[in-house]
Structure formats: C-alpha cells, structure tokens
Amino acid sequence: MIKKREHNLALCLFFLLFVSLCVFYSGFHKRLIAGTEKTYEELKIFSDVLDIIEKNYVDPVDSKTLIRGAIKGMINVLDPHSSYLLPEAFKELQIDTRGRFTGVGIVITMQNNVVTVISPIEGTPAYKAGIRAGDIIVKVDGVETKGMMLWEVVKKIRGKKGTTVILTISREGLDKPRDFAIVRDVIPLESVRWLELEPGFGYIRITTFRDDTDKEVEAALRKLESGREPMHGLILDLRDNPGGLLEQAVNVSDIFLEEGRIVSIMGRVKTHNKVFMAHPNRIKHNYPMVVLINGGSASASEIVAGALQDHGRALILGTTSFGKGSVQAIERMRDGSALKLTIARYYTPKGRSIQAEGIKPDIMVEKRWVEEEKKTQTHRLREKDLKNHIAPVPESEPEEGKKDVNEKEMRKFSEPGVPKISKELLKRDNQVQRALQILKGWYIFSGMSF
C-alpha cells in the first residue's frame, strides 16, 4: 500500500511539473516553478483521491483517464477560452482552413455547459435556415449535446456536401425545441467581398481574418479606387466577424493608418507584452470611413474597429461588439494533446480594454434590416455573458517573467463563410444605408464653403 501511495504521489508530482512546463507556447523558456508548501499539501490530497478511486471504484479505471479528467477540471475553472484539447480535438482544430470544407456556417461557443450560437454567418446554409444568435443547440441528428466537448459538436455538424444535418434548437419564445434540417454546403474561405454602392462610395466586407486578408483588402481597394470617380467614402463591414489572425487585424488596420499604436498586448509577465505600430503607407487612402460592427464582431475585428476609432480614422456604427479581448497561446503536449491558455489582454491605442467591454459604436443603430423595424431585437451572446470570463483591467505594467507571446491568435471552432452581397440586398440593410448617408453628407459638407 505504501508503495502504491508513493507511486501515486510521484505520479501527481510529475503531473503538476509536466503541466507547469507545458502551459506556454513553443520556444518559451521552460523552467521549473518551485511549489509552495500549500501546493504540496493539495497534491497529497490529490494522491489520496487517486489512490481511493483506483482501489475502490466499482470498475477498474485507467490512471491516464483519471489524470486527463483532472487536467480538464483544472482548466474548467479558468476563463472560457482556455481549454485542454485531447489529440482528436487538437487534430480537428488543425484542419487546413486555407482550402474549402463543408458545413452549415455557424460560430458557436460553450455557455454554461450548453452549446450556444454566437452568430450564423450571412449567406450560409445555417443563416438561410433561420438559425439565430443566442440559439441553443440541444441535439445534433438526434444526439444530445449535453456533456459533449465543443469540438465534438463541431465535428458532428460538419459533413459531406449535400447531406443533411438536423439541429435541434432551443430558443427564447419557443414552447419547445425545434428541429432545423440544414443541407451542408461548401463553405468558401475567402474572407473579403466588395462592391461599389454608388460612384465614389465603396463597400468592403471582411468575414474573418485569415492568411492574406490584408492582400485581399488591398486588391479590393485598388478596384474601388480605379473607378470612374475618385473615392469619396468607404464602408468597412465587420459585422458577425468572429476574428481570426492577430497579425492580419494589425495589417488591415495599418492599411488605413499612417502612424501610432494599433494595439497592445499586456499580460501578467513582461515578456508577454507587445505593441504593434502603424507605418506610413506608399498608397494613401485619404477618404472618410464608416466601420460597421455588432454583437457578432469579436477579437480581431474589435482590434481593427478600436484602432480606427481611437485614431479618429473612422466612425463606428452599429451595436456594441462581442468583447473578446484576450490572447491565447497553444502548447502541444507529447501525447498529441494540447493546452490553450489565456495569457494576455488586448488594449486599443488609447489603452481601453476590449475584454468583456467590447467596442461601443459612435452612432448606435440597432436595426439592421428595414423589415425588422417592428420586430423585437434578438439578444446577442457577448463575452461578458460567458461563465468565468476574465474581467477587463486598465492597461498597466505586468509582473516580470520568462514567457513569450504568440502573435497569432488560434483559429476558432467555427465555420467561416462569405456572404453573397448585392446592391439589392444592401439597399434593405438599414445600417449600411445609414453609413452611406453619413458618408455622402460628409462629402457634400466638405465641398461647401461657409
């Protein structure tokens, strides 16, 4: 028995030290953190529990299963963006998103242990089927999602093009859950669409921030700026954009800024800190801008909106954004699993924390579609609604440490898509039309003398 207990205690100590070594991104200085007496006492309790379970549980239990469960429990007390990914989940996360895949087009999260829709992506099968922000997915093809990991739900929703998946949705206002039969389709991964609304007035929509999003934006600008009339104004649409790569958010912001801070990253340790600066552009885009945001605009899209707002480069219109202002780093473990850990917060150029606060528009316009004027607005899930979300804190100097920061934000468990846009559709879009009116008024006033 003594040998068994010593074995379990040694296993626990190894477990703690292993996690301590692995929780930060590859290339970090890996050094042991001396445990306190209190930590050691807690580890002895852990060893006792492990020993009791192995000896007395009704069925034999694999120690690997127990320890992985303990790791999950440890991560679950942190913020909702930190997680322990088993090997299969990590492989699912690493799907090559530079190509195409099939799905339904939704961005989901886990809220209070239920799978909740952050937003359907415009133009995708889920959007056309009537899936809404705030919907709770209680079943996928008749299988309850309760107890599933988020990646498991995503895997069940994805499938071959032309096949049907049935999502059972619980929604405020419905007497009972309702089934939505959705035909999977190819979800294109281009992140930018554009068109000329009127001569001299352009519209660019970014659905996600992916590799080469900045180049796609620059290409769109070249087309718009080569029109019959010079550019008088631009609408940059970031609504329902769940985020993506940090470096792409910085690059897109830099296209419209000539100098100053774009975003800063501040963590608990100094080596997590980083400040991203704007640079003078060879091609100037000196015309007014309106940026559209809503409750589905998160993370990287909030960085762009916050940077352009703080520099007075664009007017922000719409509704308050999601409020996901934290940075995650991913460390791959030796068994193929991975740890995703929140290590820092984002701050706008003026030092505002995005976390749980979001970007507040300069002009609040809640109604998007003209025909929705008399409808009740759907409550959107936001970062502050998530269990254990980290609080916003003022920008300050963190403590010293020996860790590094990942400059690329991990890709989300979401299904990206590109909405079909047309002038006819945008004529019904109340927020776009308000933005266009503002830009036209701005142009008219700039040409007047007083």
pLDDT at 390 over 90: no
* Exposed e or buried b per residue across 334-343, where buried means at least 16 C-beta atoms within 10 angstroms of its C-beta: eeebbbbbbb
**Per-residue model confidence (pLDDT) at position 277:** 98
Q: Which of 79, 237, 310, 385 is catalytic?
A: 310
The answer to whether 408 is a known catalytic residue is no
Instruction: Look at residues 429, 442, 292, 310 and name the one whose alpha carbon lies nearest to residue 361.
Output: 292
Which amino acid, 19?
A: V
Phi, psi of 317 (to 5 degrees): -130, 140
- Residue 67 CB partners (closer than 8 Å, separation 6+): 11, 15, 50
**Hunting for tokens 């529990």 — which residue is that?**
49
**Per-residue model confidence (pLDDT) at position 94:** 63
**Per-residue model confidence (pLDDT) at position 17:** 41
Looking at per-residue confidence, does 448 or 174 come out higher? 174
Looking at per-residue confidence, does 293 or 330 come out higher? 293
Q: What is the mean pLDDT of residues 16-25?
A: 40
**Per-residue model confidence (pLDDT) at position 410:** 31
The answer to whether 310 is a known catalytic residue is yes
**Per-residue model confidence (pLDDT) at position 240:** 85
For residue 111, what are the CA distances in angstroms to 57, 146, 375? 31, 11, 26
**Segment among 46-50, 238-242, 270-274, 423-427 with least mean pLDDT:** 423-427
- DSSP-assigned states of every residue in 250-315: HHHHHHH--SSEEEEEEESBGGG-EEEE----SS---S-EEEEE-TT--THHHHHHHHHHHTTSSE
pTM over 0.75: no
How far apart (Å, rounded) are the C-alpha atoms in residues 252 and 416? 18
Q: Which of 47, 299, 301, 414 is catalytic?
A: 299
Q: Are 108 and 115 in contact (CB under 8 A)?
A: yes
Domains, the chain, with CATH or none:
2-77 (no CATH), 101-187 (2.30.42.10), 192-331+343-446 (3.90.226.10)
**Per-residue model confidence (pLDDT) at position 406:** 36
Give Cα 335 to chain centroid, integer Å: 27
**Segment among 102-116, 130-144, 191-205, 405-419 with least mean pLDDT:** 405-419
**Per-residue model confidence (pLDDT) at position 88:** 78
How far apart (Å, rounded) are the C-alpha atoms in residues 344 and 20? 17
Q: Which of 240, 253, 321, 324 is catalytic?
A: 324
pLDDT tens for 207-223 read 889 889 999 999 999 99
Q: Is 406 helix (H, G, I), strand (E, B) or coil?
A: coil
- Considering just the CA atoms, what is the radius of gyration of the chain in Å? 24
Q: Are 136 and 194 in contact (CB under 8 A)?
A: no
pLDDT at 450 over 60: no
pLDDT tens for 299-313 read 999 999 999 999 999
Instruction: Look at residues 250, 246, 243, 293 and name the one whose alpha carbon lies nearest to residue 412.
Output: 243
Give Cα 122 to chain centroid, integer Å: 16
* Exposed e or buried b per residue across 217-240, where buried means at least 16 C-beta atoms within 10 angstroms of its C-beta: bbebbeebeeeeeebbbbbbbbbb
pLDDT at 397 over 80: no
The answer to whether 299 is a known catalytic residue is yes
